[in-house]
Amino acid sequence: MNSSTLETRERELKKRWAFPYRWGRVQNNLFDAQTRFVYDEPSFDALRAELERRFGAAPQREAFFDYALNRWYNFWSARAVEEMFAALDGVIPAENRRDRLVDFTLKGVRFDHKTSIFPRGFGHDLTYAVNHPAALIEWLYRAQSQEQRQHYANRLFIVLYATGGAHWKLKAELTWLSGIISDYVATFDPARLHRFAFTPEQETLSDSIWAIRC
* pLDDT tens digits for range 115-141: 999 999 999 999 999 999 999 999 999
| Alpha carbon 73 to its chain's center | 9
Percentage with pLDDT > 70 across the chain? 96
* pLDDT tens digits for range 165-178: 999 999 999 999 99
Distances (CA, A) of 189 to 52, 94, 192, 206: 47, 20, 6, 12
* pLDDT tens digits for range 154-167: 999 999 999 999 99
Q: How does residue 98 score in pLDDT terms, banded at 50, 70 and 90? A: low
Kindly report the number of other CB atoms within 10 A of residue 18's CB atom. 7
pLDDT at 144: 78
* pLDDT tens digits for range 32-68: 889 999 999 999 999 999 999 999 998 999 999 999 9
Q: How does residue 23 score in pLDDT terms, banded at 50, 70 and 90? A: confident
Nearest 5 degrees, angle CA 196-CA 81-CA 62?
A: 100
pLDDT at 145: 57
- Its domain, for residue 134, covers 3-213
Q: Is the pLDDT of residue 149 over 70?
A: no
Edge-to-edge strand ranges of the sheet holding 91-93: 91-93, 104-106, 109-117, 155-162, 202-213, 194-199
pLDDT at 166: 96
**Contact (Cβ atoms closer than 8 angstroms) between residue 188 and residue 90:** yes
Q: Is the pLDDT of residue 26 over 90?
A: no
205, 160, 158, 161: which is closest to 184 by C-alpha?
Answer: 158
Number of independent structural domains in the chain: 1
pLDDT at 100: 73
Q: How does residue 201 score in pLDDT terms, banded at 50, 70 and 90? A: confident
pLDDT at 148: 53
